[in-house]
Amino acid sequence: MEEGGLIPIVTSISKTVDLEDGQTNGGELKKAPLSKISILTSFHAGYFRISLSLSAQSLLWKTLNKSTAGHLIFPNAAFLLIWSLAFFSLTIVSLFYISRCILRYPSVRLEFSHHIGVNYLFAPFISSLLLLQSASFIRSSSKLYIIPCLLSSVPILVLDIKIYGQWFTARGKRFLSTVANPTSLLTVIGNLVGARAAAMMGWRESAMCMFALGIAHYFVLFVTLYQRLEYSGGGALPAMLRPVFFLFFAAPSMASLAWSSIAGSFDLLCKMLFFLSLFLFASLVSRPALFKRSMKRFNIAWWAYSFPLTLLALAANEYTQEVKGDISNALMLIISIISVLVTLALIFFSAVNPSLLLPRDDPFLPSPLIPPAT
């Protein structure tokens, strides 16, 4: 839920709150001082992007420490620090969002009906599944793993029924050809992360089910977005949201990881998906002008860079384990270092510019009408 997608929601709800509180003067709104209530109003599920990135990063650090290549090893204290930071961010953001659901339910309803906002409702469940997979002190066969995994996977399937069913049966503005945008790929990634978690528990049939749902809708989305790329970049998504284009290569990267866990090896299908990820990654980074406007000022949307890069690094590590050689090792090392550096940079920028993570206004964006739910 990027600022560009949800600022219109936040703006409309904030105006309602201000009017209810009597903050008017001659028919014009006054800007009230920032309060706990206004923070809850401005808050949205897009902030789970932070925990999403940190959870994936902790999984990468765990994987690299166990890698037979051993080119990039992190101290145990560093791994525990990044895992704790991911857990802390997921807990804090979850508490904020639960409070928002209770105190600002109308804004949550608008978020649920928004063509960008609804996709980030998958983010907290993806974060929790990645956090479970990265926890080296929890066995995948234990109840401490299985129960949270089920609690995170069931909401993903419920959201699948809501969103995928809507693509088939909705009218007008809710058709896939109308609402599809790069953030829609989060619906696919949620299923693929759930498939990998189920495979790690030994639940092969459940893993196959979630993988089938994810990969089928990935190909549908891929073709739809490929045909509408110009619209997705200019009309459906404001310039501030351009970082979410990185989700294009996050989905096939996660698909390769999920199928590797199901099949037990990084086989031909995994390699094909990994090569597709590399191609999409190269296609995006070779067009820096696409992201120029989104990089003018730090904002929460920047966190969209980290998560896809981390999934690509995880897939590269799996590829390196299967295909031994200097080229594969160098590729894995380069992508992993980029992923780690980008994540550390985002942590630093967020720490020194906390006010930019929750702005009151967004001067770059208009306030389009929110498509109604059907």
Q: How far is it, in rounded angstroms, from Cα 253 to Cα 248?
A: 9
DSSP state of 25: E
Looking at residue 304, its pLDDT comes to 92
Looking at residue 28, its pLDDT comes to 39
CA 270, chain centre distance (Å): 21
Looking at residue 230, its pLDDT comes to 52
Looking at residue 44, its pLDDT comes to 79
Looking at residue 176, its pLDDT comes to 78
What is the fold, at CATH topology level, of the domain defined by 44-98+116-356? Glycosyltransferase (1.50.10)
Looking at residue 140, its pLDDT comes to 83
> By the 8 A CB rule, do 55 and 131 touch?
yes
Looking at residue 263, its pLDDT comes to 93
Quick check: pTM over 0.85? no
Q: How far is it, in rounded angstroms, from Cα 241 to Cα 182?
A: 10
DSSP state of 371: P
Q: What angle do CA 372, 232, 175 make, to 5 degrees?
A: 40
Give rounded-to-5 percent helix, strand, coil for the chain. Answer: 80, 0, 20
The three-state (H, E, C) secondary structure of 105-155, written as one string: HHHHHHHHHCCCHHHHHHHHHHHHHHHHHHCCCCCCCCHHHHHHHHHHHHH
Mean pLDDT by 10 residues, the chain (374 residues): 42 39 39 53 82 95 78 80 94 90 82 82 94 88 90 93 81 71 93 95 94 94 78 58 91 96 94 96 91 83 93 95 89 94 94 72 36 38
Looking at residue 104, its pLDDT comes to 80
Q: How far is it, in rounded angstroms, from Cα 145 to Cα 285?
A: 37
CA 191, chain centre distance (Å): 12
> By the 8 A CB rule, do 309 and 339 touch?
yes
Write the pLDDT tens digit of every residue in 319-367: 999 998 889 999 999 999 999 999 999 999 998 887 776 655 433 333 4
First vs last Cα of the chain: how many Å apart?
Answer: 20
DSSP state of 28: E
